Amino acid sequence: MFKIKSFYYAFKGIADLFSGRHPNAMIHLLAVVTVSTVGIFIGLSAVEWCIIVLCFVLVISLEAVNSSIEYIVDLVSPGYHPLAGKAKDMAAAAVLLAAISTVIIATVIFIPKFINIIQS
């Protein structure tokens, strides 16, 4: 059954993600703002925007999952445990892989546009 309250909890999670307690989320948000500004300036096509937005959502969503895994691991394993560290490392690896692929995709989209601007 559809519940409006679930949106409240989702927005609460977004607010927590960007509250400043998760510095990497803030870095990703800064990247979103920067890339979006440059994208507006150089005139990305609709398809390019769709690809870039999907990249944004992928990285930020994985950052949210990473943060939630960190919360859970800290709850169930407040002391050091090697498996807790591995769980956190794997979640961070997922974010890093998405961020690296996003940089590659952005490079493929933006470099030809910059070359055209320089040549014209």
Give the pLDDT of residue 120: 87
Q: Which two tokens stand for residue 59?
A: 């990285």
Give the pLDDT of residue 32: 97
Q: Which of 31, 35, 39, 63 is catalytic?
A: 63
Report the 10 Å Cβ neighbour count for 98.
20
> What does pTM read for this prediction?
0.90
pLDDT of 112 higher than 70: yes
Render pLDDT for 41-71 as a digit per residue (tens, 0 to 9). 999 999 999 999 999 999 999 999 999 999 9
Amino acid at 43: G
Give the pLDDT of residue 36: 97
Dump strand ranges (E) for 1-120.
none
**Where are the domains positioned within the chain?**
45-113
User: Which of 1.10.10.10, 3.30.43.10, 3.40.718.10, 1.10.287.3610 would CATH assign to domain 45-113?
Assistant: 1.10.287.3610
Asked if residue 31 lies in contact with residue 57, where contact means CB atoms within 8 angstroms, the answer is no
Render pLDDT for 67-103 as a digit per residue (tens, 0 to 9). 999 999 999 999 999 999 999 999 999 999 999 999 9
Strand, helix or coil at 42? helix
Render pLDDT for 11-30 as a digit per residue (tens, 0 to 9). 999 999 999 999 999 999 99
Q: Which residues contact 96 (CB under 8 A, 6 or more apart)?
A: none
Q: Which two tokens stand for residue 82?
A: 């090697």
Asked if residue 55 lies in contact with residue 32, where contact means CB atoms within 8 angstroms, the answer is no
Strand, helix or coil at 120? coil
Amino acid at 62: L
48 is catalytic: no
Average pLDDT, the chain: 96
Mean predicted confidence (pLDDT) in 28-45: 97
pLDDT of 1 higher than 70: no
